Structure 1
């Protein structure tokens, strides 16, 4: 096992950096009170227990964590049959077979961006040159967003995920702009259908099984949920690996360990450190505390992934494979729909980097790593490398 040698956490709320206890009260950035679950087993319980409701957490008077939360009519803010119905509609686009067919596209995109980085030479920024444009292009391909519109979409989403530099009014305006864009794109695809998810959703709508509002919200949800998190996860996974040069060298010489290495990198450094809030619909005994009806609970996915009772030497990288499943993509009915697509992108990025740049390392400059600040997901704004 290799323990990472640089700060992997970046800017985090104090309760995620230095706290103790399995279930503890916290004050959120929005000023509300919630329970935070740090224990792996209790976290899995919260994520599957129907007594903890996502729909109740999306009501106007529910405790809030920050301003970058899903809207009430998002699939991520639904419980039970409503959630299951919408998830079933879009799950085919993220099936194992469908994702497997995307491997060649991701490889082509990764190679194209790495060609540019190679020409640029040492000192290149992997975030701007690879981690940002790759997931954007992949997601646009899945949904059917024209490549030429990618940068417009990127600017919208970055404002919606920002939790400090933009106001709620600005977020609302950008959300409306994005909804209008999706509406216009749907209208265009109705006349010129293609092999993409939006065209499939249009067909379901035309059969009467999906309202236009549901179609638009699904498009918005998938765009927002799949982009910023994957950008963050690629950057954080590369950072974890480069933080221990011996680990990078070991993996370059043992490509058969890439699959377990990807899972370990996802576990150690998740882009999403917290679950969305859930509100108890009745009193629930949770560890040593009682969560009363109406109180909100969040699961610290970052802490659960580093629970020493579940993961031996939890702050170390173990490329031989661990038995327990990490919480990076959540658990239960709201588990990340795009987990397989995110894994595919992280794996291919690492595979290409290891093959083309076996001596890759952090650049020898004052600040090779710069963290994003004020986002609902963790990530880097800069990752300078040499080779």
Structure 2
């Protein structure tokens, strides 16, 4: 598909620079030392190996990457049977069949946003007009969060994902506000249940399968994890295509190639560049080093997805797909539950965007692209386009 290397990675910390070493020692933004895995095969091993614990990584004295980490009772912070118990409760909402049933509503929603963009044109900020609002409405609909609350929720989440600009105290205050909001929403849903995921989770709590704390955390986890990452992925994917006009034009001519393009865009420009940290429970040989018990490890999904030993010409978008599976959604027991929904939204957005705006291009202004800086995920705060 693309003859132009994909180089638009945006701001990244120095330790994310490319290098020959498979596993390197880094100093995290929190000031702790950790190991960073930059090899695809070793990364998959760490993500799937039970000797690398997520639960140990959220204990008080564990090495930390930043203060923007999941709480201990989050599904993303659990191992073994506890993790499996919570995951089993929500898995049904994200099966391929259930997600496919959401396609017509997402298509109508995308068309509404594109109608508004066309009426405003011939130029717009694609983040504000499409990438940011669509995933939020989709997730609110899935969980049963009233749409009138979505703007407030968006402000909360952006503070929690911000690594550098907001203080731990500010994050703590927003977490409490979010937890209070979710507890109040659960109370309202209990009185008037609906056909949504949150109502199903409340039923699981009433049957004794979830504690109240787990119910609140699970509801917030599903909203937060699915929002910021999908917003970022839509913006980053469109930016890559617009940075390589022949690739965009090829998809306009051959829209049947969009689904394959989505997988390549997920691979080359993941909105989540790093896995959550894990802590070794025993000495584990890993490439050229041995990780000692108690040491922290993170996997660079960005490096793994561009491992030349696995992906030929990794900087290019392959039009015929790849044999290996990218790491953007993780690997192993903690693989992202919402992957089918994120993938579907990206496919629908690109199909609709290409058909509606075949001459779409970056706006001819001094700064059409503004990156979010200091965030736990990669993404854009502005993407100015014209047609």
Aligned residues of 2:310 and 2:324 also touching (Cα < 8 A): yes
CA positional deviation for 1:224: 1.0
The residue that corresponds to 2:281 in the other structure is 281
The residue that corresponds to 1:317 in the other structure is 317
The residue that corresponds to 1:301 in the other structure is 301
CA positional deviation for 1:211: 1.0
Aligned residues of 1:76 and 1:334 also touching (Cα < 8 A): yes
How many Å separate the matches in 2 of 1:269 and 1:3? 16
CA shift in 2, pair 1:386/1:169, >3 Å: same
Aligned residues of 1:5 and 1:243 also touching (Cα < 8 A): no
How many Å separate the matches in 1 of 2:113 and 2:291? 49
How many Å separate the matches in 2 of 1:235 and 1:75? 27
CA positional deviation for 1:92: 0.7
| Structure-to-structure mapping, 1:35-184, within 5 angstroms | 35-184=35-184
The residue that corresponds to 2:201 in the other structure is 201
SS in 1 for 2:273: coil
How many Å separate the matches in 1 of 2:295 and 2:344? 37
TM-score, normalised via structure 1 length:
0.99
How many Å separate the matches in 2 of 1:382 and 1:288? 41
1:206-253 CA-to-partner distances (Å, cap 9, x unmatched) read 111111111001011111101000000000011111110000000111
Aligned residues of 1:3 and 1:315 also touching (Cα < 8 A): no
CA RMSD of aligned residues (A): 0.9
How many Å separate the matches in 2 of 1:30 and 1:18? 22
The residue that corresponds to 1:384 in the other structure is 384
SS in 1 for 2:383: strand
CA shift in 2, pair 1:71/1:163, >3 Å: same
Q: Which moved more, 1:18-27 or 1:176-185?
A: 18-27
1:17 partnered with 2:17: yes
1:365 partnered with 2:357: no
How many Å separate the matches in 2 of 1:7 and 1:382? 18
Gap regions ≥5 residues in structure 2: none
Q: Which moved more, 1:13-22 or 1:257-266?
A: 13-22
CA positional deviation for 1:3: 4.3
Q: Which moved more, 1:204-213 or 1:56-65?
A: 204-213
Aligned residues of 1:274 and 1:301 also touching (Cα < 8 A): yes
Aligned residues of 1:4 and 1:240 also touching (Cα < 8 A): no
SS in 2 for 1:273: coil
Paired positions, count? 387
How many Å separate the matches in 2 of 1:366 and 1:358? 23
How many Å separate the matches in 2 of 1:362 and 1:333? 39
Aligned residues of 2:368 and 2:382 also touching (Cα < 8 A): yes
1:272-330 CA-to-partner distances (Å, cap 9, x unmatched) read 00000000000000011000000010000000000000001000011211111000000
How many Å separate the matches in 2 of 1:4 and 1:335? 30
1:128-165 CA-to-partner distances (Å, cap 9, x unmatched) read 00000000000000110000000010011001101111
How many Å separate the matches in 2 of 1:171 and 1:3? 43
CA positional deviation for 1:6: 7.0
CA shift in 2, pair 1:224/1:216, >3 Å: same
How many Å separate the matches in 1 of 2:323 and 2:260? 10
Q: Which moved more, 1:142-151 or 1:16-25?
A: 16-25
SS in 2 for 1:67: coil
The residue that corresponds to 2:352 in the other structure is 352
CA positional deviation for 1:18: 3.8
